[in-house]
Amino acid sequence: MKAIIHEAEEGGYWAEVPAFPGCVTQAETMSELESNLNEAVQAWLLTGKADIKTVSNDQTLLVGV
């Protein structure tokens, strides 16, 4: 599973998991974000959203800078 981490304009961070539509979280620190992200993924899986079939041509590209 890959997560995309963004710096929030108001401070802190937020993250999204492209493979799990709607799976997002936020936190003030990276450590807290990792914990929140773990909880968000677990909650997403427990809600049964894993049964959702998405139809999309979107792609993810991992780029090192």
Q: What integer pLDDT is reported at residue 54 of this predicted model?
A: 58
Q: Is residue 61 part of a domain?
A: no
More confident residue, 24 or 1: 24
The pTM of this model reads 0.70
Q: Is residue 57 part of a domain?
A: no
Contact 34, 20 (CB under 8 A): no
The token duo for 35 is 């914990």
Mean pLDDT score, 30-50: 87
Site of tokens 């620190």: 29
> 22 is in which domain, residue-wise?
4-51
pLDDT value at 8 more than 50: yes
Task: Quote the CA–CA distance of 49 and 56 in Å, as a whole number.
Answer: 16
Mean pLDDT, the chain, whole residue set: 83
Please give the single-letter amino acid code of residue 36. N
The total of structural domains in the chain comes to: 1
Strand bridging mode 4-7 / 13-16: antiparallel
